[in-house]
Chains A and B, each alone.
Chain A
Amino acid sequence: MPKAPALEARGLCKAFGALEVTRDVSLLLPRGARHAVVGPNGSGKTTLFNLLAGELLPDRGEVLIGGRDVTRLPPNLRARAGLARSFQKSNLFPDLTVRESLAVALTIGDRRGGTFWRRFDRSPGLLAAADSLAQRVRLEGARDVAVRTLPYGAQRQLEVGLALAIAPKVLLLDEPTAGMSAEETRAMTALIAALPRDIAVLIVEHDMEVVFEIAERITVLDYGGVLIEGTPEEVRRSEIVQQRYLGGHKR
């Protein structure tokens, strides 16, 4: 019996007034997928992302996580169903430390937030788990730094860390390398490449170098609809893509 895909979108449509922003978009991410969604500005990447994350409800179509229909669920319940997302504009807990932020996210994911009779920092295994998560997102040196004072790249790393903390089946990354220097981008790319293989990762990105390095499948959006979907090689060689994006990106 084939396992249900980690994430599936079927025929998603969204219009704002007369403007169709998402036209009949379908996606399928098997377990452990590495899938990128690309396209020029205005192609509907953000809207698609928000439809998957639950910030927007589609006019038509479904979103399924692990085979379960989550189309009508708001973001917090999608998180409970196994979907985590990062934010394009860092959306963190400004006055907590890195370690505390991760510990909080872990607690939320474990649904242990209701415990009121024991100290937070004595929750069994919590600090160790937070530290190991910090290591995974390459922030082990900044554990006790207040988030507010973290440099930009570190904040973006923590963004991913928080999403990972709730042990998702599906991880949506919203332009993780946005605004990053070349070095920061390299660090983030390595971070993403090292993500656990049992998590399906969908990444919306502008930087095609990052995409070609990480993605195993790419969906190219154009005016809200899917222009082409395939492996990086297929996309690169595709005539449609070449036609549409004359000049394209380097390599």
Chain B
Amino acid sequence: MTATAEKHRHIAAAALFLGALAARQFSGYAGADLIGEIAVWAIFAMSLDLIAGYAGMVSLGHALFFGLAAYGTAGLTLFLKWPSAAALPASILIAAAAGLLVGTVVVRLGGVFFIMITLAFGQIGWAYFLSAPSFGGVGGLSGIAQLDLGSIGLNLVNPRDFALFAIVVAAIVYLLLAGITASPFGYMLVALHQNENRARALGLPVRRYKLAAFTLAAAFAGLAGALQTQRTGFVSPELMVWTSSGEVLIMVIVGGLATLVGPAAGAAIWVVLRHYLSSLTPYWMLVMGLFFVAVVLFAGNGLMGLIGRRSRRPNTIAEVSLDA
């Protein structure tokens, strides 16, 4: 199998992560906080890339799992008094379970309908937590305890320590997802993306594979969501609102579908951009929308398409198959 494009991506990923570490080294608290946020969104974006880029399932509701895990952590630690060390993995499982449940419904659909219904499911999560008094409603919940990493000398309340932790977690997630996408399972996803009909005619149980991918992506999104609670100590319905799902999709498309490192870089680009945009104008969503439209129209290959060799993996959204 050709390794050139793959090798380049791994080199880019290494550069990205080393760059993040270096940036953290030289930042103050504010800079480190931003880096920590980037790391969380990078994990979130890479999880979406698995289904949107590799399997061709473009979800507009991926933030549902991000938010569910965050609320899971909040609920388990604040209401059930679980220790963080137990609550965090449990929240990932909660997100995965939700992925499985939602997935069984949505993988029956393809293309445009999949987009529509994932959008709908994302909103239901948001609507529920918005009006759920026990979860704090629109204000959400705060005071979520951080995981105690004193044993390895890290205090997650300190943004610089959190950034280090998050970067390492993101790197591990990258390695895991890189392994999965290079495995036979990963190739099955790519195959059903490129020609679902043929894969099925050869005997692949397509729906099962889509569901597995969707659940896995939900789990990794949950990891990002759980990590988010460790960064900020609070949760709110905004975590799973449709704009969050839109933002993470922008990161994936800007970075380059089906590249993993692209979405991670896209996260860095977008988080920084949003940070500066929102300090300039309250109408940053307008800019974001125009940016999104421009990227979709003119740079469907994303960043990795612009700077890298054209990989033979489908990495433009034009190649995403539409048939159900």
Instruction: State whether B312 touches A115 (Cβ < 8 A).
Output: no
B291 is an interface residue with CB less than 8 A from chain A:
no
Q: How far, in angstroms, from A112 to B194 measured CA to CA in the complex?
A: 19
Instruction: State whether A104 touches B203 (Cβ < 8 A).
Output: no
B176 CB to nearest chain A CB (Å): 10
CB within 8 Å for A93 and B1 given contacts A113-B184, A115-B184, A116-B185: no
B209 is an interface residue with CB less than 8 A from chain A:
yes
Instruction: State whether A146 touches B312 (Cβ < 8 A).
Output: yes
Q: In the complex, which residues 167-219 of chain B have their Cβ closer than 8 Å to any Cβ of chain A?
A: 179-180, 182-188, 190-191, 194-195, 197-206, 209
CB within 8 Å for A118 and B194 given contacts A75-B200, A76-B204, A113-B204: no
Q: How far, in angstroms, from A75 to B197 measured CA to CA in the complex?
A: 10
A84 is an interface residue with CB less than 8 A from chain B:
yes
Instruction: State whether A91 touches B198 (Cβ < 8 A).
Output: yes
Q: Which residues of the partner chain A approach B187 to less than 8 Å between Cβ atoms? A: 100, 103-104, 107, 113, 120
Q: Which residues of the partner chain B approach A105 to less than 8 Å between Cβ atoms? A: 202
Q: Which residues of the partner chain B approach A77 to less than 8 Å between Cβ atoms? A: 203
Q: In the complex, which residues 126-173 of chain A have their Cβ closer than 8 Å to any Cβ of chain B?
A: 144, 146, 162-163, 165-166
Residue in B183, B203, B205, B313 whose CB lies within 8 Å of A116: B183
Identity of the chain A residue whose Cβ is nearest the Cβ of B187 in the assembled complex: A120
A92 is an interface residue with CB less than 8 A from chain B:
yes
CB within 8 Å for A104 and B200 given contacts A94-B195, A118-B183, A144-B2: no
B225 is an interface residue with CB less than 8 A from chain A:
no
A97 is an interface residue with CB less than 8 A from chain B:
yes
B314 is an interface residue with CB less than 8 A from chain A:
yes
A143 CB to nearest chain B CB (Å): 11
B319 is an interface residue with CB less than 8 A from chain A:
yes
Instruction: State whether A113 touches B209 (Cβ < 8 A).
Output: yes
A119 is an interface residue with CB less than 8 A from chain B:
yes
Q: Which residues of the partner chain B approach A165 to less than 8 Å between Cβ atoms? A: 202
CB within 8 Å for A166 and B203 given contacts A95-B314, A116-B186: yes
Q: Which residues of the partner chain A approach B197 to less than 8 Å between Cβ atoms? A: 91
Instruction: State whether B198 touches A93 (Cβ < 8 A).
Output: yes
Identity of the chain B residue whose Cβ is nearest the Cβ of A114 in the assembled complex: B185
Interface of B is mostly: helix
Which one of A85, A97, A121 has the greatest number of beta carbons of chain B within 10 Å? A121
Q: Which residues of the partner chain A approach B186 to less than 8 Å between Cβ atoms? A: 116, 120
Q: Which residues of the partner chain A approach B314 to less than 8 Å between Cβ atoms? A: 95
Which one of B1, B180, B313 has the greatest number of beta carbons of chain A within 10 Å? B1
Q: In the complex, which residues 183-199 of chain A have their Cβ closer than 8 Å to any Cβ of chain B?
A: none
A148 CB to nearest chain B CB (Å): 9
Q: Which residues of the partner chain A approach B194 to less than 8 Å between Cβ atoms? A: 93-96
A242 is an interface residue with CB less than 8 A from chain B:
no
Interface residues of A toward B: which range? 35 or more
Q: How far, in angstroms, from A162 to B194 measured CA to CA in the complex?
A: 15
B199 CB to nearest chain A CB (Å): 7
Task: Produce 1/0 per residue, B149-178, CB < 8 A to A.
Answer: 000000000000000000000000000000
Residue in B1, B179, B188, B203 whose CB lies within 8 Å of A117: B179
Residue in B1, B182, B202, B204 whose CB lies within 8 Å of A100: B1
A77 CB to nearest chain B CB (Å): 8
Residue in A93, A108, A115, A144 whose CB lies within 8 Å of B203: A108
Q: How far, in angstroms, from A141 to B122 measured CA to CA in the complex?
A: 49
Q: How far, in angstroms, from A120 to B191 measured CA to CA in the complex?
A: 13
Which one of A113, A115, A119 has the greatest number of beta carbons of chain B within 10 Å? A113
Q: Which residues of the partner chain B approach A144 to less than 8 Å between Cβ atoms? A: 2
CB within 8 Å for A108 and B195 given contacts A76-B204, A115-B184, A118-B183: no
Q: Which residues of the partner chain A approach B198 to less than 8 Å between Cβ atoms? A: 87, 91-93, 162
Q: How far, in angstroms, from A218 to B201 measured CA to CA in the complex?
A: 26
Q: Which residues of the partner chain B approach A80 to less than 8 Å between Cβ atoms? A: 203
Q: Which residues of the partner chain A approach B209 to less than 8 Å between Cβ atoms? A: 113
Instruction: State whether A108 touches B204 (Cβ < 8 A).
Output: yes
Q: A87-B201, A116-B184, A146-B312 are in contact. List 16 more A-B contacts (CB 8 A).
A: A53-B201, A75-B200, A76-B200, A76-B201, A76-B202, A94-B194, A94-B195, A97-B312, A107-B187, A108-B191, A113-B184, A115-B184, A116-B186, A117-B179, A162-B198, A166-B203
Interface residues of A (CB under 8 A from B): 53, 75-77, 79-80, 84-85, 87, 91-97, 99-100, 103-105, 107-109, 111-121, 123, 144, 146, 162-163, 165-166
Can you list 21 pairs linking A and B with CB atoms under 8 Å apart? A75-B201, A79-B201, A79-B203, A85-B201, A91-B197, A93-B191, A93-B198, A94-B195, A95-B319, A96-B312, A97-B2, A103-B187, A104-B191, A108-B199, A111-B203, A114-B184, A115-B183, A117-B179, A121-B1, A144-B2, A146-B312
